[in-house]
Amino acid sequence: MAVSRRNMLKLAATGSLVGLGGIGINSLLSDKNELEINRLQQPVLKKNPAAKKQSPNILVIMTDDLGFGDLGCYGSKAINTPNIDKLASAGMKFTDFYSSNAVCSPARYGLLTGRYPHRGGLQFPLWAENQPLGRRLARSAAQFLGNLGLTDVGEDSISDGMAPGELTIAEALRQVGYRTGLMGKWHLGDFAHLPRYHPHKHGFDEFYGLPYSNSMKPLPLYRGEDKIQDDVPDDEQSKLTRKISDEAIKFIKKSDENPYFLMLSYTAPHRPLFASDEFRYKSKGGLYGDVVEEIDFYVGKVLDAVDKSNKADDTLILFTSDNGAWYYGSNGGLRGGKGQSFEGGFRVPLIANWPGHIQAGSICQEPAINLDIFPTLLSLVGLDIPTDRIIDGKNILGLLTGAEAGSPHDALFFYHNDILEGIRVGKYKYYRKINLYKFPAPVNKTMAGLAAGKLGKWPLLYDLERDPYENYDLSDNQPELVAKMEAIMSFWEKQMTANPEGIMNRM
């Protein structure tokens, strides 16, 4: 088994972890591997004199584990989402939009930095630093076996949070006078124990929310850097969607002459599922549907606040999910789900709304990815992207406004943990090999179908234009295309191995 420098460090740290009785793995790793990105200073971004500088308010709404098929505007017949559907009908809906990863922390890193999560050492969801001893022991043992290649449970991130040397959208927009806020889930470092990962340290002026997923315990609630609740009990989790939305509304109401960037990051519908009494047993989609309908209701309240601020026409709104659905929910018939490189794990909704700039009722069928949000927003406000680091995302402002017709991407890359598994070029998607997580019961039908052994052989090649559900493997019919895809992947891997963190002008 070939072992890279990063994998060697992880293997050594994980082996030590088993012997030491479950000391937090991320704390061990942070001492073992200082990321090269931290050697960079926060860049002062150059203003592009040729750009048409605009300063709209920017609202990014991200759900947690919402599937591609869970919204009415994306085909759901079981869940009613009138407010989100209205947002789509008044703006643009993307049909081929991807997350940068199929799990929580890496996907959020990708959106905020415009860089593939592998560059930041974030290949796997981050764990709370003070997980119970039993869970830490079980996790460390599983990781040890995974690092040896004996299980497919996946490897932990080599970093314990988003490196201080990274540049986020919030930090960039602050350079041109934006007020910034994050309400909801963070999951880019357990700042309760590692303060350097607090959102305040990454460009956000205001914060209300949680350090990680609602499944982790204890689950503290913060306002700024002050802990206002040590542990949100299960019977109060049903209030989180309302509380997070209320804080977003307060932020919007404080609008002044300065524009704002607000990231509204819901904890739902990540499991465990909780719906308030007002929404419980109301949907046709069970408890999961109740939770999504409650999200839609409060998204409506947030959109009302935007309207009442008299700045609705000067507000760009983006709605998306961090990855595909997991145990519950619908990925719209797409193959696979959260944690997998198949379409159901990576393809997510994206709705873009900006009156007067994005045509109402428009649909974009071009491939794009959440990495694109970073350079697009910088371009929008007249900033050039930084030159000291590689930015993997592309500016898709032309797609949003209709000024451009084609995707700016030559290829999109799909990672399972730190292993490159797939690539999309044009309408084709190619998989070298898929590593499946072993999901415990209950599993949804998509997962059960995969576990039943439909895969057969490697590699796999699909025409997503004719076969979006990845049913018909074309690899035997098109060997030249398979060779081309493999060559592109191999070239990308060589570049990543040589400069994994994407530092420009390395000495």
* Active centre residues (catalytic): 104, 187
Cα 337 to Cα 335: distance, rounded to the nearest angstrom = 7
Give the Å distances, CA to CA, from 44 to 173, 203, 204, 385, 388.
11, 13, 17, 10, 11
Looking at residue 457, its amino acid is K
Give the Å distances, CA to CA, from 490 to 131, 394, 434.
38, 21, 16
Query: Which pair of structure tokens corresponds to residue 491?
Result: 């070239």
CB 9 within 8 A of CB 32: yes
Cα 411 to Cα 367: distance, rounded to the nearest angstrom = 9
Displacement of CA 384 from its chain's centroid (Å)? 23
Displacement of CA 115 from its chain's centroid (Å)? 11
Report the candidate in 439, 451, 468, 453 with the shortest Cα–Cα distance to residue 328. 439
Largest CA distance in the chain: 61
User: C-alpha dihedral over 492, 495, 500, 506, to 10 degrees?
Assistant: -150
Pairing of strands 460-463, 428-431: antiparallel
